[in-house]
Amino acid sequence: MPAIIGVPMRLRHHRLASLLGMAWSVGFCLAEAEAAPGVSTKYDTIVRTTAARHGVDTALVHSIIAAESNYNRWAVSGKGAQGLMQLMPETAKDYGVKNVFDAADNIEGGVKFLKALQAKYPNQPDLVLAAYNAGPAAVAKHGGVPPFPETQTYIARVKRNLRLAPKTKNTRIYEFRDKEGRLVITNDIRLVPPAYRP
């Protein structure tokens, strides 16, 4: 079997087809995100656990994912934002994301970023969303929400998704090590040793 750079020709064609298929899928899903807003239950367990751990509203995280990638974990924007929560490479690195296309890793980084923005702009949800979309530097430069049409549309889309999201109560998640050193993650406070309770 012929090989180029040590890779069998058949495997090279398979990988090329996979890459082309992924590129088509990414383009299709980004276009679809414009036409099909709204929250989904996809990745709900990861979203709920991560949001609860960081004290961020679950519905807000779902609304951002719906607006950013329409739940396509392979999404890549023209500007280079990647994954479910459309993290720029620098942001992903800043928040410890190793694989932006891994749903749990991407959501963890996105929620940490969102939590940092909420701390930076307390009780100012439009500034939080503007900074998530355009970056904190753009918000600082413009002294508020930047006048970019994309950012204005993004804020409106997330807020619309948030209004449509089912109202749920965030559940507090507790993490601790048991006597054998195993990591325990639970939402049942009765299982949590007193030293780990609020």
Residue among 32, 34, 68, 175 flagged as catalytic: 68
Task: Tell me how far CA of residue 36 lies from CA of 22, 79, 99, 113, in angstroms.
Answer: 20, 21, 26, 25
Task: Report whether pLDDT(33) > 50.
Answer: no
Contact 42, 56 (CB under 8 A): no
Q: Which residue has the higher pLDDT, 49 or 2?
A: 49
Q: Which residue has the higher pLDDT, 165 or 138?
A: 138
What is the predicted pLDDT for the residue at 166? 63
Residue range 3-170, CATH number: 1.10.530.10
Task: Report whether pLDDT(60) > 60.
Answer: yes
Sign of CA dihedral 118, 124, 125, 131: negative
Task: Report whether pLDDT(75) > 50.
Answer: yes
Q: Predicted confidence band at 171 (pLDDT cuts at 50, 70, 90)?
A: low
Contact 170, 52 (CB under 8 A): yes
Instruction: Label residue 119 exposed, middle or buried (CB < 10 Å: 0-12, 13-18, 19+).
Output: exposed
Residue 68 falls in the annotated catalytic set: yes
Burial 132-166 (b: 16+ CB within 10 A, else e): bbbbbebbeeeeebbeeeebeebbebbbebbeebe
What is the predicted pLDDT for the residue at 168? 57
CA nearest 58: which of 189, 195, 188, 173? 173
Domain boundaries along the sequence of the chain: 3-170
Structure tokens at 55: 């004290």
Contacts 24+ apart (CB under 8 A), 164-167: 164/38, 164/39, 165/39, 165/59, 165/62, 165/63, 166/39, 166/59, 167/59
CA nearest 85: which of 50, 136, 126, 121? 50
